């Protein structure tokens, strides 16, 4: 990977390079995706099936677009016992973590006759998109469905691209059933997002669409936002390792490569105060590349978005990490917990040399659907909050309203809203 000294210009160049991965930069794809979305909106199933044949090479129709109980039973037969056991163990951790995010309605009242509160209502029906182009992601199935179930969503509809033969990945189906999905449809890409947003004869319209995906999925989610709600736009994966001379270069290299293998557009960045560590990490990467299976994707990703920045001080390194706002941030330094307290922007923070990123991808419990592309400055990981909404509650007795009614009338009059003023006035005539 390129080793560059961290200074104002290199930091700016890196930030500009990373921004090129933002969905907003893909003008040519935007037109194409908008056309797919509009066509599915208008022609519904007919368009959905045609695009599935065109982009996924699979013929689906009204009869086979929804995954059947028989297909799920067949999937259980194909998935080995050990994987099923791992899925169940992961589910225990993921559920326990998300249970802690549960929110409750609250009501606050006193003797004055005022009751105020906030009522929590789960969303009625949500759509979960599970990517399935370059890799299959049963782990993402768990990460999307569990928080929705914990929140109390009534119906969870999942879509994921079918194989050319119409078959679905068995581990994906099993993970979905274990996590508590209600219905699964064979649809991927922008056409699946449009079908969930507007509804077709086969796929029901949902209130919110969540889940990661490639550039077509991300742009389609942007296009349908407003017709439905969406979660953050989780794009190609990212890792930033913050390390000093105490870090183990073999671990740092392995962790950087773990995210680079997702996509040619994934990014892997090391920010370190140690030049010796930087050289050693590069050497380890060369060794790993000889044996890793997805080395072609990894090489492209490192060529495009792999970077090592050498900082003069740990304070400078932390400032750069906060600027980049990576999806995942690993801290392998002395006093790693103190460093963590200075991190403001990151989707998930992994502390210490044994807390490697894939531990979070599969098992620890926190969600792996995280903000990417610098959006960790304002977005949070997918969680229970994404699947609930709040209504404010207001209840005043006559005795509570009487002492403040003139204040309110004055406020309304100042805005020139006489019907508002009248609504208060009629109660005291
Ligand atoms: N942030 C996260 O939590 C997270 C988790 C898992 C995966 N990811 C990311 O999700 C992405 C998954 O991408 P993927 O491609 O493997 O699966 P995907 O399901 O997102 O995309 C496949 C679909 O893209 C559509 N498509 C492909 N080529 C097209 C074209 N030329 N025109 C129109 N549509 C086309 C097809 O309909 C296909 O079904 C990766 O970038 C990965 O890094 C992120
Ligand atoms: N690291 C990905 C999110 O960026 C999630 C994932 C799923 N499987 C493996 N990894
Ligand atoms: Zn991963």
Boundaries of every domain in the chain: 2-21+236-365, 25-230, 397-428
Q: Token digits for 232?
A: 């953050």
User: Is 214 close to ligand 1, i.e. is its CB under 6 Å away?
Assistant: yes
Give the SS3 label for residue 137.
coil
Q: Token digits for 285?
A: 């990467």
Residue 322 pLDDT: 98
Report how far residue 334's alpha carbon sits from residue 313's, in angstroms, rounded to the nearest whole number: 13
- The tens place of each residue's pLDDT in the chain, 429 residues long, gives 999 999 999 989 999 888 888 766 666 789 999 999 999 999 999 999 999 999 999 999 999 999 999 999 999 999 999 999 999 999 999 999 999 999 999 999 989 999 999 999 999 999 999 998 777 899 999 999 999 999 999 999 999 999 999 999 999 999 999 999 999 999 999 999 999 999 999 999 999 999 988 889 989 999 999 999 999 877 789 999 999 999 999 999 999 999 999 989 899 999 999 999 999 999 999 999 999 999 999 999 999 999 999 999 999 999 999 999 999 999 999 999 999 999 999 999 999 999 999 999 999 999 999 999 999 999 999 999 999 999 999 999 999 999 999 999 999 999 999 999 999 999 999
Q: Is 129 annotated as a binding residue?
A: yes
Residue 25 pLDDT: 66
Quick one: CATH architecture of 25-230?
3-Layer(aba) Sandwich (3.40)
User: Is 29 close to ligand 1, i.e. is its CB under 6 Å away?
Assistant: no
Of 328, 330, 357, 368, the active-site residue reads 328
- pTM for the model: 0.94
Report yes or no for ipTM above 0.85: yes
User: Is 263 close to ligand 2, i.e. is its CB under 6 Å away?
Assistant: no
User: Of 212, 230, 265, which is best to mutate to test ligand 1, by the most ligand atoms within 8 angstroms of its C-beta?
Assistant: 212
The answer to whether 54 and 164 have CB atoms below 8 angstroms apart is no
The answer to whether 305 and 270 have CB atoms below 8 angstroms apart is no
Please report where in the chains the tokens 């065109």 appear, as a residue: 54
DSSP letters, 403-428, are GGHHHHHHHHHHTT-HHHHHHHHGGG
| Ligand 3: centre distance to CA 63 (Å) | 35
User: Of 211, 216, 297, 368, which is best to mutate to test ligand 1, by the most ligand atoms within 8 angstroms of its C-beta?
Assistant: 216
The answer to whether 66 and 184 have CB atoms below 8 angstroms apart is yes
Residue 26 pLDDT: 65
For domain 2-21+236-365, give the fold. Rossmann fold (3.40.50)
Closest residue by Cα to residue 186 from 345, 328, 60, 295: 60
User: Is 368 close to ligand 2, i.e. is its CB under 6 Å away?
Assistant: yes
| Ligand 2: centre distance to CA 361 (Å) | 5
Q: Token digits for 76?
A: 């259980």
């Amino acid at each position: 990977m390129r080793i560059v000294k961290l200074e104002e210009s290199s930091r700016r160049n890196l930030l500009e390079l990373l921004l090129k991965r933002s969905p907003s930069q893909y003008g040519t794809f935007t037109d194409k995706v908008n056309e797919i979305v509009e066509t599915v909106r208008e022609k519904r199933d007919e368009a959905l099936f045609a695009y599935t044949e065109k982009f996924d090479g699979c013929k689906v129709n009204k009869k086979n677009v929804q995954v059947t109980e028989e297909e799920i039973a067949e999937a259980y037969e194909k998935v080995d016992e050990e994987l099923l056991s791992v899925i169940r163990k992961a589910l225990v951790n993921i559920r326990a973590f998300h249970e802690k995010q549960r929110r409750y309605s609250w009501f606050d009242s006193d003797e004055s006759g005022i009751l105020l509160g906030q009522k929590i209502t789960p969303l009625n029906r949500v759509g979960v998109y599970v990517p399935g182009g370059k890799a299959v992601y049963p782990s993402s199935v768990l990460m999307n469905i569990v928080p929705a179930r914990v929140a109390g969503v009534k119906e969870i509809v999942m879509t994921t691209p079918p194989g050319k033969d119409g078959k679905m990945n068995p581990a994906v189906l099993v993970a979905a059933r274990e996590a508590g999905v209600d219905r699964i449809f064979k649809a991927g890409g922008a056409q699946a997002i449009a079908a969930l947003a507007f509804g077709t004869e086969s796929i029901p319209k949902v209130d919110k669409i969540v889940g990661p995906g490639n550039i077509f999925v991300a742009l389609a989610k942007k296009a349908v936002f407003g017709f439905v709600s969406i979660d953050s736009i989780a794009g190609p994966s990212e890792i930033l390792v913050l390390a000093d001379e105490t870090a183990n270069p073999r671990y740092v290299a392995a962790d950087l490569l773990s995210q680079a293998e997702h996509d040619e557009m994934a990014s892997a960045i090391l920010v370190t105060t140690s030049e010796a560590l930087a050289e050693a990490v590069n050497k380890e990467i060369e060794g790993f590349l000889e044996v890793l299976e997805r080395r072609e994707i990894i090489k492209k990703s490192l060529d495009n978005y792999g970077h090592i920045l050498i900082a003069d001080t740990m304070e400078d390194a932390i400032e750069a990490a906060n600027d980049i706002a990576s999806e995942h941030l690993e801290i392998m330094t002395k006093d790693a917990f103190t460093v963590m307290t200075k991190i403001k922007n990151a989707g998930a923070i992994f502390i210490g040399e044994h807390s490697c990123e894939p531990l979070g991808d599969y098992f620890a419990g926190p969600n792996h659907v995280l903000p990417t592309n610098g959006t960790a400055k304002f977005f949070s990981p997918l969680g229970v909050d994404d699947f609930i909404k709040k209504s404010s509650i207001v209840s005043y007795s006559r005795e509570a309203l009487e002492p403040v009614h003139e204040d309110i009338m004055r406020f309304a009059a100042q805005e020139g809203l006489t019907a508002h003023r009248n609504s208060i006035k009629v109660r005291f005539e």
